[in-house]
């Protein structure tokens, strides 16, 4: 091969790749491995020889494990200067996509003489068997490239030799460039960011009535989106500031969170829960009409006094009188000219935002400035300015629409809280209307009393509030615990949210000296939670409050327990949402429904077209449950999908429910399906499962042995050169799945599963058993391969399990399968942020599938396909 072929494939007017020229190192031969996201992600392995880089495409990437042999397809020679190439190859060009230098260094052979080494390498390349030693930053030690005879002419194997550098650790986890320290993902975001900047810079800055069309080419990831309301990203609360170069610090504004949607035809302002602010903040809306781009902005509307100090009370007065210095501080941009920017880093988004706002002259719209690293200094400045506090945001973080994330943190100076008004006390002395507000916040779905507030009211405010409250008076307390007050109380439906300031939280979780600041029209009562890290309720107190007997005292007709939820075009009637399903932790049915509402996009691909064996817990995990396979098609909503499938255990055709959408998933959760149990096969190929599963079930609480068993499964499958994937069962064990792609029937799969299980038991007989009988296992781990039968079900990935704590069956990276692992680490309280960060680790299970026919044949077994 020569460089002519390389040059023929490239248009150097469009790509920044180096032109094909001969070159060489002054001393040692070099090698480079480039990670390349073209039509398919792969790694390009290149060795310098004869003035060029001899090149192989390695689809799965190099490995440091001698047991793993990687296919390497030899491609055209590349020029020596290609060793430093990083960047984006434009769409429409050969190899279009992003490239980073994943590893580089020098390489040698056994010959000490350089000239002899080069001759030996050329001869070895000709023979089809190269051996060499890599001295890279990631790849080290002896390797071989061996040509596969009888295969395609350019097919080779890249093999690691056994030496001191050999390891079964996944070297590909080290995914950053050795030159720029960036990942492929960050390079892609920078490419998008540069495209957006060009769009603004190329725009004519004159005050046109319509925006100009952009001049830059679209990247592969560009996709036009409609400009409209998006639920804003939310922050968690921490107590103390910190310094960190990876974090950005902004002022925390004491006002209303406001999203602006801007198009050539109209501008709209929204609260965080999509209430219109168009009339409330018309001066801001008029100013934003100057922007000649389609944009979604995120910021805060405040009212400042003459000294530039903003407060929530000033904003409340403005809403009544229209008087005050109204300002809109913008801190983020979610869309620019129809292209989403949420996947750019925070600093990239803020750079775009500043460029956009700097084009216009505003009187009451401002860019929210920030500092990098200096959180302690930022809080000191905020304190001196009598500000409410600061925001800390991860500099490289993306924008998570509608999610609360630890990538955004609130650090408050003044103690302020949002609270739900649950009642009022009788007025005393000269006061009219009412004496004090009774306040609460939610802990999960349960409303907790946090104190009473009797100051901060004028006569006008008392009258206004009482008038609002009166239609919503109720007879019984909306909280479970008894509130010990001598005052006569008028209870109130938990509908109104107010802002209060106070001095501190007491040990029994009450607000000390709260002062009323105003109502919050932008918050729903159900969104007001006990969120602060300092507000951890005493365990013994919580146990007392969570007794199911106490909960049952509430009227079963309480409206808060039942409500209608619209999911797409379908309306669900959700019932008994306050019913306690997990007595130990107080988790309710409503919280389970809400979890599945949040996790639907992750779990649904593993439920689609699969018959569901519904495991129903109508009264929680401590009450009897039952399985339901057959559904009465005459009694269920008409939009639910069912399929008649033959059940071997029932010896008849049953109408199984098929869960293909979120509405069906929530319908199942409302029936009491705490965990979701799909078949291993779909109705499209009911006799052929999509995966094989090894269920590792401990008979004792020896989870380290469960981990050892799972790693042994991986060891066996690695020897078969077959990928496998691990997840927690969500209860007490681990599940290891092997993708099959529905290529084999259940009988064949059961044979292969038994083969794998037998091999595992042979390797670790001291801790594992294939005995189904618990008595015969002698406290050993059961390696269950019998789950691979027609009609058998296991908890789906991302499914909640009916065990204390509401644990979740969670996909894992193999690097996480260590003695420190335990299923109890993953519950509905913490997994959603993990799934957002790691994405769907389970996706390969639905991939092409293993070629087990050859493997079983090697063991002297036949296979049906």
Mean pLDDT of 33-44: 90
CA distances 342 to 135, 252, 400, Å, are 40, 21, 7
pLDDT over 80 at 202, yes or no: no
Residue in 753, 748, 736 with CA at minimum distance from that of residue 844: 736
One domain for residues 407 and 463: no
pLDDT of residue 150: 55
Task: Identify the pLDDT of residue 198.
Answer: 62
Domain boundary among 412, 445, 468: 412
For range 292-311, the mean pLDDT: 89
CATH (domain of 469): 2.40.50.140
The pLDDT value given to residue 313: 81
134 in any annotated domain: yes
Partners of 532 in beta bridges? none
Phi, psi for residue 309 in degrees, rounded to 5 = -95, 125
Mean pLDDT of 290-310: 90
Does 299 reside within a domain? yes
Range of the domain at 333: 234-412
Distance CA 28, CA 5 (A): 26
pLDDT over 90 at 651, yes or no = no
The whole-angstrom separation of Cα 62 and Cα 81 is 22
- Alpha-carbon distance of 164 to 108, in angstroms, equals 17
pLDDT for residue 185: 86
pLDDT band at 217 (very low <50, low <70, confident <90, very high): very low
The predicted pLDDT at position 43 comes to 95
Helix residue ranges per DSSP H, 503-586: 539-545, 548-552
Claim to verify: residue 157 and residue 278 sit in the same structural domain: no
Residues 124-134 have pLDDT tens digits of 998 889 999 99
Residue 172 — pLDDT band, cuts 50, 70, 90? Answer: very high
In a domain, 551, yes or no: no
Give yes or no for residue 267 having a pLDDT over 90: yes
- DSSP-assigned states of every residue in 783-829: EE-TT-STT-B-PPTT-B-SSTT-BB--EE-GGG-STT--GGG-BTT
- Output DSSP code: residue 846: G
Residue 212 resides in a domain: no
Which CATH number belongs to the domain containing residue 251 in this structure? 3.30.470.30
Task: Give dist(CA 138, CA 472) in Å, integer.
Answer: 67
Select from 182, 217, 247 the last residue of a domain: 182
- 709, 851: one domain: yes
Domain contains 217: no
Separation of alpha carbons 728 and 739, rounded Å: 17
What is the arithmetic mean of pLDDT over 65-79? 90
The answer to whether residues 31 and 104 belong to one domain is: yes
Residue 470 DSSP code: G
pLDDT at 219: 37
Task: Copy the structure tokens of residue 678.
Answer: 């799909």
Residue 699, pLDDT above cutoff 70: no
Other CB atoms within 10 A of residue 601 CB = 11
519: number of Cβ within 10 Å: 18
Whether residue 11 lies inside any domain: the answer is yes
Neighbours of 415 (CB within 10 A): 18
C-beta atoms surrounding 392 within 10 Å:
24
Query: Which range (200-209, 447-456, 538-547) has the least confidence?
Result: 538-547
Return the pLDDT at 546. 35
pLDDT of residue 120: 87
Q: Do 397 and 309 fall into the same domain? A: yes
pLDDT per residue as tens digits for the range 473-507: 999 999 988 888 888 999 999 999 999 988 777 76
DSSP string, 193-255: HHHHHHHHHHS--S--SSPPPP-SPPPTT--B------PPPEEEEESS--EEEEEEEEEEPSS
**β 580-582/626-628 pair status:** unpaired
> Is the same domain home to 608 and 636?
yes
> Are residues 707 and 572 part of one domain?
no
CATH number of the domain where residue 804 is located:
3.90.920.10
Q: What 3-state class would DSSP assign to 381?
A: helix
> In this structure, are strands 497-501 and 365-367 parallel, antiparallel, or unpaired?
unpaired
Tell me if 86 sits within 8 A of 114, measured CB to CB. no
Main-chain dihedrals φ then ψ at residue 779, nearest 5 degrees: 65, 20
Confidence grade of residue 539 (pLDDT, cut at 50, 70, 90): very low
| CA atoms of 1 and 837, how far apart (whole Å) | 44
* Predicted confidence band of residue 271 (pLDDT cuts 50, 70, 90): very high
pLDDT band at 542 (very low <50, low <70, confident <90, very high): very low
Same domain, 353 and 311: yes
More confident residue, 217 or 31: 31
Residue 219 CB neighbours (<10 A) = 18
Average the pLDDT over 733-749 and give the result: 93
Q: How far is CA 69 from CA 159, 722, 760, in A?
A: 5, 11, 22
Tokens of 176: 């950053």
Backbone φ and ψ for 365, nearest 5 degrees, come out as -120, 125
Q: Which residue has the higher pLDDT, 147 or 260?
A: 260
Asked which of 213-222, 393-402, 449-458, 569-578 is least confident by mean pLDDT, the reply is 213-222
Tokens matching residue 274:
């999509």
Residue of 581 and 308 predicted with greater confidence: 581
Rounded Cα–Cα distance for residues 206 and 265 (Å): 18
Using DSSP's 3-state secondary structure scheme, residue 401 falls into coil
CB-CB contact of 260 with 281 (8 Å): no
Question: What are the residues whose beta carbons fall under 8 Å from the beta carbon of 428, sequence distance 6 or more?
Answer: 435
Domain boundary among 384, 412, 440: 412
Q: How far apart are CA 807 and CA 77, in angstroms?
A: 53
| Tens-digit pLDDT profile for residues 759-779 | 999 999 999 999 887 778 888
Both 575 and 433 in a single domain? no
Instruction: Express each pLDDT in 424-458 by its tens digit.
Output: 999 988 889 999 999 999 876 788 899 999 999 99
**What's this model's pTM, rounded to 2 decimal places?**
0.42
Together in a domain, 457 and 403: no
CA distance 517 to 456: 7
The gap between the terminal CA atoms of the chain, to the nearest Å, is 41
The tokens describing 158, both together, are 């890249």
| pLDDT score recorded for residue 567 | 85
Tell me how far apart the alpha carbons of residues 157 and 69 are, in angstroms, rounded to a whole number: 6
What is residue 197's predicted lDDT score, i.e. its pLDDT? 63
Give the C-alpha distances (Å, rounded to integers) separating 56 from 18, 69, 303, 605.
18, 14, 63, 35
Query: Quick check: 857 pLDDT over 70?
Result: no
Q: Examine the pLDDT at 215 and tell me if it is beyond 60.
A: no
Residue 591 has pLDDT above 60, yes or no: yes
Q: What's the CA gap between 864 and 748, in Å, rounded?
A: 6
Per-residue pLDDT, 862? 43
Q: Residues 532, 235: contact at Cβ < 8 Å?
A: no
Instruction: Specify if 228 maps to a domain.
Output: no
pLDDT average, residue stretch 454-467: 93
Residue 27 reports pLDDT greater than 80: yes
Of 560, 564, 597, nearest to 578 by C-alpha is 560
Instruction: Name the one residue in this structure whose structure tokens are 């922050």.
Output: 235
| Per-residue pLDDT tens over the stretch 790-809 | 999 999 999 999 998 899 99
Residue 534: its pLDDT value, please? 35
More confident residue, 189 or 144: 144
Give the separation between CA 660 and CA 379, rounded to whole angstroms: 49
Give, in degrees to the nearest 5, the angle at Cα 443 between 441 and 449: 40
CA distance 595 to 593: 5
In a shared domain, residues 255 and 370: yes
Residues in CB range of 110: below 8 A, 6 or more apart: 120, 131
Token pair in block for residue 99: 């490239």
Residue 560 pLDDT? 46
Indicate the average pLDDT of the chain: 86
Instruction: Name the 3-class secondary structure at 97.
Output: strand
Residue 556 lies in a domain: no
Domains identified in the chain, total number: 5
Contacts of 805 (CB under 8 A, 6+ apart): 582, 584, 585, 824, 827
Do 68 and 156 lie in one domain? The reply is: yes
Residues in the chain: 865
Per-residue pLDDT, 771: 86
Q: In whole angstroms, what is the distance from residue 490 CA to residue 473 CA?
A: 7
Can you list the pairs that 712-720 forms with residues at least 24 positions away whose Cβ atoms lie under 8 Å? 712/760, 712/763, 712/764, 713/756, 713/760, 714/814, 714/817, 715/763, 716/756, 716/759, 716/760, 716/763, 717/756, 718/65, 718/67, 718/68, 718/168, 719/67, 720/850, 720/852, 720/855
Q: How far apart are CA 300 and CA 424, in angstroms?
A: 31
Residue 210 has pLDDT above 80, yes or no: no
Between vectors from CA 499 to CA 494 and to CA 502, what angle results, nearest 5°? 115
* pLDDT, tens digit, 9 for 90 and up, residues 703-719: 889 999 999 999 999 88
């Amino acid at each position: 091969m020569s460089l002519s072929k390389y040059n023929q494939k490239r248009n150097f007017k469009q790509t920044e790749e180096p032109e094909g020229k001969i070159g060489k190192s002054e001393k040692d031969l070099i090698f480079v491995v480039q990670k390349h996201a073209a039509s398919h992600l792969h790694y390009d392995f290149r060795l310098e020889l004869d003035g060029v880089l001899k090149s192989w495409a390695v689809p799965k990437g190099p490995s440091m494990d001698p047991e793993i042999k990687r296919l390497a397809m030899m491609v055209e020679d590349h020029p020596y200067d290609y060793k430093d190439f990083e960047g984006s190859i434009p769409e429409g060009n050969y190899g279009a996509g992003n490239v980073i230098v994943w590893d580089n260094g020098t390489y040698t052979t056994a010959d000490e003489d350089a000239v002899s080494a080069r001759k030996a390498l050329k001869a070895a390349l000709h023979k089809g068997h190269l051996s060499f030693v890599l001295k890279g930053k990631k790849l080290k030690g002896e390797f071989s490239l061996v040509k596969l005879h009888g295969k395609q002419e350019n097919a080779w194997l890249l093999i690691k030799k056994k030496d001191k550098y050999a390891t079964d650790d996944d070297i590909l986890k080290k995914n950053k460039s050795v030159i720029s320290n960036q990942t492929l993902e960050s390079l892609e975001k920078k490419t998008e960011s540069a495209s957006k900047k060009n769009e603004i810079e190329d725009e004519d800055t004159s005050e046109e009535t319509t925006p100009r069309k952009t001049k830059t080419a679209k990247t592969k990831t560009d996709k036009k989106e409609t400009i409209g309301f998006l639920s804003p990203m939310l922050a968690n609360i921490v107590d103390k500031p910190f310094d960190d170069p990876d974090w950005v610090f902004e002022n925390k504004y004491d006002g209303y969170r406001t999203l602006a949607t801007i198009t050539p035809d109209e501008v709209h302002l929204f609260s965080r829960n999509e209430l219109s602010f168009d009339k409330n903040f018309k001066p801001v809306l008029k100013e934003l009409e100057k922007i000649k781009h389609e944009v979604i902005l995120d910021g805060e509307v405040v009212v400042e006094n003459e000294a530039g100090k903003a407060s929530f009370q000033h904003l409340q007065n403005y809403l009544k009188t229209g008087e005050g210095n109204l300002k809109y501080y913008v801190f983020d941009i979610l869309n620019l000219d129809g292209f989403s920017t949420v996947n750019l880093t925070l600093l990239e988004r803020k750079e775009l935002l500043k460029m956009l706002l700097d084009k216009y002259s505003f009187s009451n719209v401002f860019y929210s400035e920030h500092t990098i690293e200096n959180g302690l200094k930022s809080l000191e400045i905020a304190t001196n300015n009598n500000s409410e506090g600061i925001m800390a945001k991860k500099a490289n973080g993306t924008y998570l629409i509608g999610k609360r994330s630890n990538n955004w943190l609130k650090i408050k100076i003044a103690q302020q809280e949002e609270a739900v008004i649950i009642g009022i006390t009788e007025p005393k002395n000269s006061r009219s209307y009412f004496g004090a507000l009774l306040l609460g916040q939610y802990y999960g779905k349960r409303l907790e009393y946090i104190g009473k507030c009797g100051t901060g009211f004028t006569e006008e405010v008392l009258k206004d509030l009482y008038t609002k409250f009166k239609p919503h008076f109720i007879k019984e307390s909306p909280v479970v615990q008894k509130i010990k007050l001598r005052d006569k109380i008028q209870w109130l439906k938990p509908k109104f949210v107010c802002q209060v300031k106070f001095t501190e939280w007491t040990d029994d979780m009450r607000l000390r000296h709260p002062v009323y600041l105003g109502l919050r029209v932008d918050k729903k009562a159900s969104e007001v939670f006990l969120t602060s890290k300092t507000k951890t309720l005493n365990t013994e107190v919580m146990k007392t409050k969570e007794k199911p007997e106490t909960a049952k005292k509430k009227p079963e007709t309480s409206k808060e327990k039942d409500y209608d939820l619209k999911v797409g075009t379908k309306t669900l009637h959700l019932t008994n949402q306050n019913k306690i399903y997990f007595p130990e932790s107080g988790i309710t049915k409503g919280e389970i429904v809400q979890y599945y509402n949040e996790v639907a996009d992750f779990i649904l691909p593993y439920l689609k077209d699969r018959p569901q064996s519904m495991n129903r817990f109508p009264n929680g995990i401590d009450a009897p449950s039952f399985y339901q396979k057959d559904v009465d098609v005459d009694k269920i909503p008409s939009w639910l999908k069912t399929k008649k499938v033959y059940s071997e255990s029932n010896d008849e055709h049953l109408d199984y429910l098929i869960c293909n959408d979120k509405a069906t998933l929530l319908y199942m959760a409302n029936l009491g399906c705490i965990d979701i149990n799909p078949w291993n096969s779909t109705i499209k190929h009911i006799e052929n499962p999509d995966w094989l599963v090894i269920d590792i079930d401990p008979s004792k609480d020896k989870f380290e042995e469960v981990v050892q068993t799972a790693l042994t499964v991986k060891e066996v499958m690695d020897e078969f050169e077959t990928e496998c994937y691990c997840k927690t069962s969500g209860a007490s064990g681990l599940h290891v799945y092997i993708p099959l792609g529905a290529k084999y029937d259940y009988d064949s799969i059961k044979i292969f599963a038994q083969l794998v299980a037998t091999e595992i038991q042979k390797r670790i007989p001291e801790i594992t058993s294939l005995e189904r009988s618990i008595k015969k296992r002698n406290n050993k781990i059961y390696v269950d391969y019998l789950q691979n039968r027609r009609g058998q079900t296991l908890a789906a990935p991302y499914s909640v399990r009916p065990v204390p704590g509401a644990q979740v069956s969670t996909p894992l990276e193999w690097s996480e399968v260590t003695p420190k692992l335990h299923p109890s680490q993953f519950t509905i309280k913490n997994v959603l942020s993990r799934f957002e960060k790691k994405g769907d680790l389970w996706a390969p299970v639905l991939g092409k599938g293993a070629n087990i026919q050859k493997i079983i044949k090697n063991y002297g077994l036949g296979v049906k396909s």
